[in-house]
Amino acid sequence: MAPPRFDRHPWVPDSGRKKMWKLPKQYSHFAFGAIQAAVTCAVASAIASMQFVAEGTFISHWLRAYFFSWIAMLPVVVIVAPFIRWLANRITN
């Protein structure tokens, strides 16, 4: 009997596609920072762009604000994340 496969769901047929490329574990904090910055900037720029809904230009303003805020926040998040993790560990059990 063949060992079970854990790389895909049993009810999804194998399409023959290659597996998704992954970053090594040592870079997980960079991936975390990029994803966290992306989500935070998406929400914040959407809230800041709400005034453009009535004009019908929300999407263009939101995308521009999202792009510039993500570019600005990514280095901040990646640099500050280790300190935040250290601080969170210090103030919790």
20 vs 55, higher pLDDT: 55
Q: Considering the chain, what percentage of its residues have pLDDT values greater than 70?
A: 81
**Closest to 66 measured CA to CA, from 42, 47, 34:** 42
- What's the pLDDT score for residue 21? 83
Alpha carbons within 13 angstroms on the beta-carbon side of residue 2 total 3
pTM reported for the whole predicted model = 0.65
Q: What is the pLDDT of residues 39-82, one digit of tens each?
A: 999 999 999 999 999 999 999 999 999 999 999 999 888 888 88
CA distance 36 to 68: 15
